């Protein structure tokens, strides 16, 4: 899922797109996600066997791909960004690989032993996004702790 269009492994990129469409068809997924918030709670529900029976990360990725709102997902470990995926509407820079997870984020709290926050909470936009660019609205974050790998999935939603 971390392959990008610019990666040398174009076949893996195509395989990931094919798998997403096979497991979470665009029209069905879009209909099931319609009217819901961009959050881990929603991703968990869509990932469940009642809907698409996929991982929370896969559901969050698909939500991001299909969203018309400014949003992104960030996978982090060891208090640093591993990778990020943003919607076409999320144009504010930030979320670079290797960037430290800052205090004041739900991800930081999760790394400090706090519980995951499956519902979106308002966080300081400058903790995630490039502070020199204006942010219109509030940045909401929800998190999913992947205990087996020590990673934190953050879903960011500019509302």
Give me the mean pLDDT over the 56-67 stretch: 96
Which among 109, 152, 151, 100 has a CA at the least distance from the CA of 128?
A: 100
116 touches 145 (CB < 8 A): yes
- Residue 128 C-beta-side C-alpha neighbours within 13 Å: 32
pLDDT over threshold 60, residue 1 = no
Do 114 and 127 fall into the same domain?
yes
The pTM (predicted TM-score) of the whole model is: 0.89
Coil vs helix vs strand at 39: coil
pLDDT surpasses 70 at 5: no
Q: What is the pLDDT of residue 11?
A: 78
Instruction: Tell whether 55 and 119 lie within a shared domain.
Output: no
Please give the residue range of the domain that contains residue 37: 10-66
Domain boundary among 18, 39, 66: 66
Per cent of the chain over pLDDT 90 is 72
Query: Per-residue pLDDT tens for 65-113?
Result: 999 999 999 999 999 999 999 999 998 888 899 999 999 999 999 999 8
Both 100 and 124 in one domain: the answer is yes
Which position has the higher pLDDT, 8 or 59?
A: 59
Domain contains 4: no
**Total of domains in the chain:** 2
Greater pLDDT, 36 or 133: 36
């Amino acid at each position: 899922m971390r392959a990008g269009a610019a990666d040398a492994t174009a076949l893996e990129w195509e395989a990931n797109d094919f798998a997403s469409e096979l497991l979470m068809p665009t029209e069905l997924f879009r209909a099931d996600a319609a009217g819901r918030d961009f959050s881990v709670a929603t991703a968990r529900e869509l990932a469940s066997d009642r809907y698409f029976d996929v991982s929370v990360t896969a559901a969050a990725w698909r939500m991001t791909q299909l969203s018309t709102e400014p949003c992104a997902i960030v996978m982090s470990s060891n208090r640093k960004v591993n990778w990020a995926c943003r919607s076409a509407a999320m144009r504010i820079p930030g979320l670079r690989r290797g960037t430290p997870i800052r205090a004041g984020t739900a991800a930081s709290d999760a790394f400090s032993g706090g519980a995951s926050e499956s519902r979106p909470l308002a966080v300081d936009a400058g903790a995630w996004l490039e502070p020199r660019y204006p942010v219109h609205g509030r940045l909401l974050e929800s998190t999913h702790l992947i205990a087996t790998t020590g990673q934190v999935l953050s879903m960011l939603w500019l509302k």
